[in-house]
A and B are shown apart, each in its own frame.
Chain A
Amino acid sequence: MTRAIPLEAVLVVAAALFCIGLFGALSRRNLIGVLMGIELMLNSVNINLVAFWRYLEPRFITGPTFVIFVITVAAAEAAVGLAMIITIYRSWNTINADSVDSLKG
């Protein structure tokens, strides 16, 4: 597998996924869309970790271990973020990112 596909190909796919997620997180109006963009970015980081493990250090387990930790943090982030979105919806009756602007000077 490591001979068939160069490491750079996997990394470019992960970089493209990261940039798409960044665009989504920065520009979607819907807060749930923003959260989905963040999930895409975390996934691309996981792809990078697995690729570096497989190509550079296949005997050591550090890469997959940190993928597990990133997935844990992503799950916690999704739970808290969606709870916040539901609370925002209750008090503002909207989940558009540019409508929730009470901290704007």
Chain B
Amino acid sequence: MRSDRVGVLRLPYHYAPTTGGELMDLLIQIIFGLISALVIGAAMMVVTMRNVIHSALWLIASFFGVAALYLLMEAEFIAVVQVLVYVGAISILILFAIMLTRSNEGDRLFTTYWWTSGLIALGLFGAVLVPTLAGTIWNLPQPTGPAGAPEVLSGVEELGRGFVSEFVLHFEIAGVLLTVALIGAIVIAFEERSRRRRVLTLAEELELRKRQQASEHSAVAAADSVD
């Protein structure tokens, strides 16, 4: 048996179609504005911070904001995956890489022609993306059924069913890709044994310390015999 998931953030219209609905709309708009400000502001900080660790921390904030945006769009599973994979795994990986490469970045933050790339990004946003978005007519689906009825959303159940039926090939390719990336990361980051700094095992360290103590003892003994 399958239970249809409905859009939770629409339910109040059902109960109070006039006043409550508008209040809910206003609330959602305020929340959306705050979350967008967080995402965009944190992304700006990621790009402009001089300290790499600070920009990694701002990157985590931006990931959280994107997860909140998914929640607002009622994609709960995607939000959880975002927090698990991006906040939990990728940002930790980035922090580890920063830790392993103590960067001596110097006094310049950007490359020589950074203003060109800034111009490209601004031009893409202002001249291509926003006019395209404003000029496109989206054929949004008309609400079906009685007015104010909640929408039917596909949920995690359909997602799981899709992974084993419709998208099974994509799913397996994603698995192969992850395996290849795992092996590739190990192969790339592997250090040749001859070039590696020698790290002593515990037994070797103990033996070394014992030998040092023995030599000290013999030195003391020699000094005693001289006296």
Cα(A85)–Cα(B36), bound, Å: 31
Pair A7/B140 contact, Cβ less than 8 Å: yes
Which chain B residues lie closer than 8 Å to A77 at the CB level?
Answer: 181
Cα(A92)–Cα(B173), bound, Å: 35
- Number of inter-chain CB pairs below 8 Å: 255
Cα(A18)–Cα(B25), bound, Å: 27
Known: A12-B133, A71-B82, A82-B94. A39 touches B59 (CB 8 A): yes
Q: Is the interface of B mostly helix, strand, loop or mixed?
A: helix
Interface segment among B112-120, B199-207, B209-217: the answer is: B112-120
Interface residue B85 (Cβ < 8 Å from any Cβ of A) = yes
Cα(A80)–Cα(B56), bound, Å: 18
Which chain B residues lie closer than 8 Å to A15 at the CB level?
Answer: 125, 129-130, 133
A26-B121, A58-B152 known; 7 other A-B pairs, CB under 8 Å? A15-B133, A19-B124, A37-B46, A47-B70, A59-B153, A75-B89, A97-B111
Which chain A residues lie closer than 8 Å to B182 at the CB level?
Answer: 79
Interface residue B193 (Cβ < 8 Å from any Cβ of A) = no
B75, B129, B178, most chain A CB atoms within 10 A: B75
Pair A98/B25 contact, Cβ less than 8 Å: no
Cα(A22)–Cα(B47), bound, Å: 10
Q: 26 pairs across A/B with beta carbons < 8 Å?
A: A1-B28, A1-B72, A2-B10, A4-B26, A4-B29, A9-B32, A12-B129, A13-B39, A15-B133, A16-B43, A19-B121, A24-B46, A28-B109, A28-B111, A32-B56, A32-B94, A32-B98, A35-B94, A47-B70, A55-B138, A64-B78, A69-B174, A71-B82, A84-B188, A96-B103, A96-B106
Nearest chain B CB to A12 CB, angstrom units: 6
Which residues of B are interface residues toward A (Cβ below 8 A)? 7, 9-10, 13, 24-26, 28-29, 32, 36, 39-40, 43-44, 46-47, 52, 55-56, 59, 62-63, 66, 69-70, 72-75, 77-78, 81-82, 85-86, 89-90, 93-94, 96-98, 100-101, 103-106, 108-114, 117-118, 120-122, 124-125, 129-130, 133-134, 138-141, 151-154, 158-159, 161-163, 167, 170, 174, 177-178, 180-182, 184-186, 188-189, 191
Which residue from B28, B97, B167, B174 sits with its C-beta under 8 Å from A5? B28
Pair A65/B162 contact, Cβ less than 8 Å: yes
Chain A minimum-CB-distance residue to B77: A64
Which residue from A9, A43, A53 sits with its C-beta under 8 Å from B86? A43
Which chain A residues lie closer than 8 Å to B141 at the CB level?
Answer: 56-57
A41-85 interface code vs B (CB 8 A; 1 in, 0 out): 001001100110111111111101101110111111111101111
Nearest chain A CB to B189 CB, angstrom units: 4
Cα(A23)–Cα(B120), bound, Å: 8
Interface residue A104 (Cβ < 8 Å from any Cβ of B) = no
Which chain B residues lie closer than 8 Å to A10 at the CB level?
Answer: 69, 73
Cα(A64)–Cα(B178), bound, Å: 19
Known: A39-B86, A54-B74. A26 touches B81 (CB 8 A): no
Pair B188/A87 contact, Cβ less than 8 Å: yes
Pair A83/B184 contact, Cβ less than 8 Å: yes
Nearest chain A CB to B92 CB, angstrom units: 10
